[in-house]
Amino acid sequence: MPPIFEPPPHDFPDRAHRRLLEHPANLRELVEQVAPGVAPGLAFEQTRQLRRDRLLPDWRRSENDLLFEIPFRQADPENAPAILVSILVAHQSKADPAMPLRTLLEATLHWTSQWRAWQEHHAKRAPLRLSPLLAIVFHTGDEAWKSHRRLADLIDAPQELQANVPSWEPLFWQVNRQPPDALLQASGAWLRTLAVVRLGDAPAAEFAGVYEQVARSLEPLADHDKMRWEDLMGFLLGWGQYRRRELAEIIQLHAIAAASHQNVALREEIRSMSQAVQETWVNWAKAHYTAEGKALGEAIGEARGEARGEARGLLRARREDLRLFLEDRFGPLPEDLVQRIEANENLASLQNALRQALHIQSLDELSL
């Protein structure tokens, strides 16, 4: 499977969001947000992704963003009915007024295929049964959705016919309507990652602070679901590359992501992924815009050097802050503790030790 951050850059948001939602755990987090009463009854571990492309009756091709079949939890798993979950990822800044009709068309296409299968294979007297369908519009654009939400909004019917207008309304979930703090405090890793999407063009310092919190929160995930950790971390690095305007800021964000992890091996993986993100997009730029690609490659090299220098300076400052603060509280430090402080290359670890130093009663309580 190709990296989540592969180019072209302008397609990155749609492709990356779809890729993440193909993971059952991330899908569960979205369904829990839009249909909290339904989600507990679904066996997400048995999710089956269905084909995205189908032929319309006039042989035109329709592509659904994502379509899943998820069984209900029952005592008899083999005979458990299933629900269809259709997700249309909308990243465009301008809302699509036809969205209710698009979601209904996708539902009708699948129900038509079930009807056709029933006609061809049903047992005698077996009734026609269609699967329930949950249609979700996952909107990740910066602007609030201000266009039509119901099929009735598209039908120009006089008052006398209003009662005959079909009732169809997909469920909308908009990232830009979620409070950033609520996303940061969410129990789900995918939801927490959306905090960087929610911030959009926030000032660099604010964005970097949230970016560091999200990156740090992903580390425990690597212990039990490494592939999901790789996808979410790849999304985080790719989003920093895609959304931030200044090259130096991009390099700094990638350095922050690496420093956020305590595990040395994971830090090295993040650095490798960061380099892959930058080189992949530089190579794409070279292939499409030769002069710009070369200039971008040179600028990234210079920015990396500056960022490494800044990171080393920041580490030295935090080591010195920690050492001096501990000396002020506890007097001369044991040589082995001084050596541990000087050998520590994890900025998050040093910052955490500084916070501990405010409250501990002895050096033995310090975790470094």
Which residues 6+ apart lie within 8 Å of 282 measured at CB? 293, 296, 297, 300
Averaged confidence pLDDT in the chain? 82
Over residues 257-283, the pLDDT tens digits come to: 988 998 888 988 998 888 887 776 656
Note whether residue 233 is domain-resident: yes
DSSP secondary structure of 261-278 = -S-HHHHHHHHHHHHHHH
Write the single-letter amino acid at 27: L
Note whether residue 118 is domain-resident: no
Asked if residue 229 has pLDDT above 80, the reply is yes
Asked if residue 128 has pLDDT above 60, the reply is yes
Counting DSSP H helices and E strands in the chain, the numbers are 12, 7
Q: 177 and 245 share a domain?
A: yes
Residue pair 70/47 in contact (Cβ under 8 Å)? The answer is yes
- Residue with the two structure tokens 């039509």: 148
Note whether residue 236 is domain-resident: yes
Q: 261 and 183 share a domain?
A: yes
Write the single-letter amino acid at 345: E
The pLDDT confidence band at residue 285, using thresholds 50, 70 and 90, is: low
Which residues 6+ apart lie within 8 Å of 313 measured at CB? none
Residue pair 311/255 in contact (Cβ under 8 Å)? The answer is yes
Residue pair 47/68 in contact (Cβ under 8 Å)? The answer is yes
pLDDT at 252: 84
CA distance 149 to 178: 18
Cβ-in-10-Å burial (0-12, 13-18, 19+) of 17 comes to: buried
Residue pair 294/254 in contact (Cβ under 8 Å)? The answer is no
Last residue in a domain, options 288, 310, 341: 288
Note whether residue 101 is domain-resident: no
Q: 281 and 232 share a domain?
A: yes
Structural domains counted in the chain: 2
C-alpha triplet 279, 283, 285: angle, nearest 5°? 115
Write the single-letter amino acid at 104: L
Write the single-letter amino acid at 339: Q
Q: 270 and 296 share a domain?
A: no
Write the single-letter amino acid at 344: N
Using a cut of 0.85, tell me whether the model's pTM lies above it: no
Q: 186 and 222 share a domain?
A: yes
Note whether residue 98 is domain-resident: no
Residue 73 DSSP class = P
Last residue in a domain, options 288, 311, 327: 288
Note whether residue 209 is domain-resident: yes
Last residue in a domain, options 261, 288, 315: 288
Q: 195 and 212 share a domain?
A: yes
Asked if residue 15 has pLDDT above 60, the reply is yes
Note whether residue 301 is domain-resident: yes
Asked if residue 303 has pLDDT above 80, the reply is no
Q: 296 and 206 share a domain?
A: no
Which residues form the domain of 218?
1-40+64-72+81-92+132-141+167-288
Q: 301 and 283 share a domain?
A: no
